[in-house]
Amino acid sequence: MRREGSPWTGLWAVFFKEMADHLTGLRMRILEGLILLSALAAVYTGTQTLRQTVGEDPYLYLKLLTTAQDPLPSFVGFLSFFVPLAAIALAFDAVNGEYARGTLSRILSQPIYRDALLFGKFLAGLGTLAVLLLALFLLVVGLGLFTLGVPPGGEEMARAFLFLLATLAYAGVWLALGLLFSVLFRQPATAALAAIGVWLFFAVFFPILTDLAASALLLQADPFDPESQLRQANLALWISRLSPNTLYAETLTAVLNPAVRSLGPILITQLEGAVLGTPLPLGQSLLLVWPQLTGLFALFILLFTLAYVAFQRQEVRA
């Protein structure tokens, strides 16, 4: 049955309201504080290390983002840890919270479709994260200008923006997951726990499992046949790429380190004529991570679609 009227009616009203809620909410303040502190710490140690080598590296700012010094991880390491948490924190009570407050039927009785509510909430979460990431990034670059005293290059900035885009896609995956759980579970606490459970699984247990799988696969390979070993190694890599964390990590590796030429096993014959250690142009790096980026986007569209379908089928009454 065809319905009349645009599903986008009211989208921007929802978007701005939710965005304002996020930006003024206590939850976001806490997250901002946490992320800011850790980013500052990471950048501080990064600059301490880099100061000694300024002038030797054409991609100084990318190094600033990725340099780690024990016991602190790099800025990028911090982000990949906090971004999923922030995304989940923004989305886990998006829909069930409306049920709990008794506002859902009131909002849906206004002349809007459910589509507008869900899209608006999702876009507001993504927008909030984008603002947060951009602010953080500019802060880091600004600090870098102060402490290193070298202006960033054009390609460096292009790579950095690509990094932001990839981070946003990664955040989108967790935002969509949080949204899905907020539709599926009536209790916000259950939804939050479930989403954090999934995040923990991919952050902690999945790498262990893939390691186990990889060694098991390697045992199956014929020790005297390099080709079968390569096949098994590729299979293990493929399995590990089922996790959004792997996809994101690989994207970052290639985008932030121009010297990276391959994200998998590579044969010595393929390196013939290559000058090792020379940086790839941006376009080539982008080509390298294209599948990973596509995978991230696909995953987030899939999760969002699931949330969308589940929400459309849900009864309005609590």
CA 132 to each of CA 5, 51, 66, 79, 167: distance values in angstroms, whole numbers, following the listed order: 34, 27, 19, 11, 11
Instruction: List the one residue from 48, 69, 105, 234 that touches another protein (CB under 8 A).
Output: 105
Instruction: List the one residue from 9, 190, 228, 229 that touches another protein (CB under 8 A).
Output: 9
- Report the residue number, 16 or 201, with the smaller CB distance to another protein: 16
Residue 316 engages another protein in binding (rule: CB under 8 A)? yes
**Minimum separation from the CB atom of position 6 to another protein (A):** 8
Chain positions 205 to 264 lying near another protein, rule: CB under 8 A, are none
- Report the residue number, 10 or 46, with the smaller CB distance to another protein: 10
**Encoded amino acid at 12, one letter:** W
User: Which long-range CB contacts under 8 A does 38-44 form with residues at least 24 apart?
Assistant: 38/78, 38/82, 39/75, 39/78, 39/79, 39/136, 39/139, 39/140, 40/143, 41/72, 42/68, 42/72, 42/73, 42/74, 42/75, 42/77, 42/78, 43/75, 43/140, 43/143, 43/144
The C-alpha atoms of residue 275 and residue 143 are separated, in whole angstroms, by 34
**Minimum separation from the CB atom of position 96 to another protein (A):** 13
CA 244 to each of CA 15, 49, 215, 301: distance values in angstroms, whole numbers, following the listed order: 26, 30, 21, 13
- Report the residue number, 2 or 149, with the smaller CB distance to another protein: 2
Chain positions 107 to 126 lying near another protein, rule: CB under 8 A, are 107-113
Tell me which stretch binds another protein (CB under 8 A): 5-13, 59-67, 265-273, 280-288.
Answer: 5-13
**Minimum separation from the CB atom of position 1 to another protein (A):** 6
- Report the residue number, 97 or 152, with the smaller CB distance to another protein: 97
Binding flags for another protein, 18-37, as an x/- string (CB under 8 A): ---x----------------
The C-alpha atoms of residue 215 and residue 208 are separated, in whole angstroms, by 11
Chain positions 74 to 103 lying near another protein, rule: CB under 8 A, are 101-103
CA within 13 Å, CB half, 293: 18
- Report the residue number, 27 or 51, with the smaller CB distance to another protein: 27
Instruction: List the one residue from 49, 106, 205, 211 that touches another protein (CB under 8 A).
Output: 106
The C-alpha atoms of residue 4 and residue 262 are separated, in whole angstroms, by 50
The C-alpha atoms of residue 176 and residue 34 are separated, in whole angstroms, by 22
CA 103 to each of CA 19, 26, 171, 214, 267: distance values in angstroms, whole numbers, following the listed order: 17, 21, 27, 50, 60
**Minimum separation from the CB atom of position 196 to another protein (A):** 24
Residue 13 engages another protein in binding (rule: CB under 8 A)? yes
**Minimum separation from the CB atom of position 104 to another protein (A):** 8
Tell me which stretch binds another protein (CB under 8 A): 51-59, 105-113, 149-157, 294-302.
Answer: 105-113
C-beta separation of 146 from 270 below 8 A: no
C-beta separation of 310 from 186 below 8 A: no
- Report the residue number, 10 or 244, with the smaller CB distance to another protein: 10
Residues that bind another protein (CB under 8 A): 1-5, 9-10, 13-14, 16-17, 21, 101-103, 105-113, 315-317
